């Protein structure tokens, strides 16, 4: 088989495996799904799944990355026309991130995703987690840069540090969301409000009154 066709065939089989795993993780649960079941649904050999992903956590991390990247246009649309008030914009952006997260992956899957990077710090799961973080971080930085450019975040504020703090608040809230059955995105948003207000009260600039 020519190299180009072989590469296309590999990409197609990879997508089949990801689609099958995604469906089974949602329907049966991550822990109850076996690699052999994924291979059967994807119409490939089990060895093919192991060859492409090595283990189930790596497979799940790739699914999470695929969903995060697929949701980029929705977040980009928000960033292109955010609320004028930075507090409102950041809180709504956090709500969008949480809504997208639970829309595509179950709480069980997110618990694995959030812990995988700490289990194997030199492995694929850790590197994929860094890619997940980078995708969100870039868009968060774009939103903060916009507010600083229009004078709603003080010019002396280090946006890299502010981004780290806000993402930390968001990750902590997501951890509570996926470990508390009774919690939903709106409840999570309410829990985040005091933290966001405390942080942003020191960096948001008061808009100049028009004369």
Q: Which CATH class is domain 57-200?
A: mainly alpha
How many whole angstroms separate alpha carbon 107 and alpha carbon 103? 10
Q: Which residue has the tokens 């409840």?
A: 187
Do the domains 57-200 and 1-53 match in fold?
no
Fold of 1-53: Arc Repressor Mutant, subunit A (1.10.10)
pLDDT in tens, 86-130: 999 999 999 999 899 888 889 999 988 888 767 777 777 777 878
Q: Looking at residue 211, what is its pLDDT?
A: 45
How many whole angstroms separate alpha carbon 71 and alpha carbon 76? 9
pLDDT in tens, 164-173: 999 999 889 8
Q: Average pLDDT over the chain, rounded to whole?
A: 89
Q: Is the pLDDT of residue 24 over 70?
A: yes
How many whole angstroms separate alpha carbon 75 and alpha carbon 79? 6
3-class SS of residue 183: coil
Phi, psi of 156 (to 5 degrees): -85, 0
Q: Which two tokens stand for residue 96?
A: 């969008």
Question: Where are the domains positioned within the chain?
Answer: 1-53, 57-200
């Amino acid at each position: 088989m020519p190299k180009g066709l072989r590469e296309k065939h590999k990409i197609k089989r990879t997508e089949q495996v990801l689609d099958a795993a995604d469906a089974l993780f949602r329907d049966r649960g991550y822990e109850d799904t076996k690699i052999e079941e994924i291979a059967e649904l994807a119409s490939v050999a089990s060895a093919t799944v192991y060859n492409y992903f090595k283990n189930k956590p790596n497979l799940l991390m790739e699914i999470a990355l695929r969903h995060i990247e697929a949701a980029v246009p929705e977040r980009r649309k928000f960033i292109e026309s955010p609320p004028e008030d930075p507090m409102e914009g950041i809180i709504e952006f956090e709500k969008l991130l949480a809504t997208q997260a639970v829309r595509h992956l179950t709480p069980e899957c997110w618990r694995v995703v959030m812990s995988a990077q700490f289990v194997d710090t030199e492995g694929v799961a850790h590197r994929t987690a860094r890619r997940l973080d980078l995708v969100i971080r870039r868009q968060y930085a774009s939103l903060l840069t916009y507010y600083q450019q229009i004078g709603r975040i003080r010019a002396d504020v280090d946006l890299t540090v502010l981004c780290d703090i806000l993402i930390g608040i968001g990750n902590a809230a997501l951890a509570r969301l996926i470990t508390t059955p009774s919690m939903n995105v709106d409840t999570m948003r309410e829990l985040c409000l005091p933290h966001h207000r405390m942080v942003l009260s020191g960096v948001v600039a008061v808009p100049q009154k028009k004369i």
